[in-house]
Chain A
Amino acid sequence: MTDKSTEELVVDSVKAKFPEDVIDAKVQRKNRVSISVRGNKIYDIGLFLRDELGFDHIASVSGIDYIDAKEFEVIYYVWSMDKKVLVGLRTKIPRDNPTLKSLVDVWEGGLYHEREIWEMFGIKFEGHPNLSLLLLPEDWDGPPPLRKDFVLPETHQERLEEKIKKLSGG
């Protein structure tokens, strides 16, 4: 046995397998690993993580809107039941054409998470079987609400101003 920790072994094996596609891989702290990868390569790396390293449970999927860099970041948090390590698998995609190959084939538990990211950020997941509204109201027709450039509909704002005027005046 080497004296390397499980987290470092995960980082090393991913780096060795995909030297081109892994931008950054590091151990954040005990039980936490962060791996940034290039674009749609996330699918292959996800398969590798699941089949070779035993990351079998998808904990969450989240998105970040970097409006100044004109990029979205999608993060898949996957957990290994044996290793007890949580990997944040990150990828950045351009803001003007946000499409990403869906990882539902790899981790089926990502179905609802990807739907949520789709409705909140407008990121299209190619190959996702059912991209429909999950948390938003059924008649929602505005832009995705968690984007940084989202502004409330005008009627909503007018109503708010009216209310504030009424409350401060009376």
Chain B
Amino acid sequence: MLEKVGKSLMSIKLLRKVFNWGRAWSLWSVHLETGCCGPEDMARACARFDTERFGTLPFPTLRECDLIFVTGFVTKKMAKRLKIVYEQMPEPKYVIAIGHCAISGGLWWDSYSVVQGVDEIIPVDVYVPGCPPRPEAWIQGIRMLQEKIAKEGVKKK
């Protein structure tokens, strides 16, 4: 019932714009570091680059988060935990894959223990290449995601 009401509200163009605007500018990210792009995550969140200007605030509660940065390689052991984290987040949720390792396995492209690209486990919205990508690249990734959200239709998944 609620879902139907939501969908019909979202089909009104103006309302949809308002919703998408709200979503795009309050992307709270899960504080979860899987690999060694983690320090860049701290750099982009802290005062110098301060992605809270774009509404991206690292937050410890999964239930209030909209965004995961997959920072670096994901081992097969970590993959299960990452999936649990992803499933605990409420819709709508977005994923940004950071670094070569998260995109395709990177250095560990033929490893026995590393997932070959995080898109094998969870759907990815934006890929940010680099080893590790600088905080400016992260900001570009966030901006790309915001543009993507602004064009979003009635239902994503």
Contact = CB atoms under 8 A, between A and B. Distances in A.
Interface in A114-138: 135-138
Interface centre among A135, A136, A137, A159 (most CB of B within 10 A): A137
B3 interface: no
Interface stretch (B23-31, B104-112, B125-133): B104-112
Given A142-B112, A145-B112, A137 B77 contact: yes
B109 A137 contact: no
B51 interface: no
Contact of A163 (B77, B113, B116): B116
A137 B104 contact: no
Given A137-B76, A137-B77, A138-B77, A160 B113 contact: no
Contacts of A163: 104, 116-117
B90 to A, nearest CB: 28
Say whether chain B's binding surface is mostly helix, strand, loop, or mixed: loop
A135 B75 CA distance: 10
Contacts of A137: 75-77, 113
B76 A159 contact: no
B109 A160 contact: yes
A136 B113 CA distance: 7
Contacts of A150: 112
Contacts of B77: 135-138
Contact of A152 (B76, B104, B112): B112
B127 to A, nearest CB: 13
Given A137-B76, A137-B77, A138-B77, A160 B112 contact: no
A160 B76 contact: no
A159 B110 contact: no
Contacts of B104: 163, 167
Contacts of A159: 116
B74 to A, nearest CB: 12
Interface of A: 135-138, 142, 145, 150, 152, 156, 159-160, 163, 167
25 contacts: A135-B77, A135-B113, A136-B77, A136-B113, A137-B75, A137-B76, A137-B77, A137-B113, A138-B77, A142-B112, A145-B112, A145-B113, A150-B112, A152-B110, A152-B112, A156-B112, A156-B116, A159-B116, A160-B109, A160-B110, A160-B116, A163-B104, A163-B116, A163-B117, A167-B104
Interface of B: 75-77, 104, 109-110, 112-113, 116-117
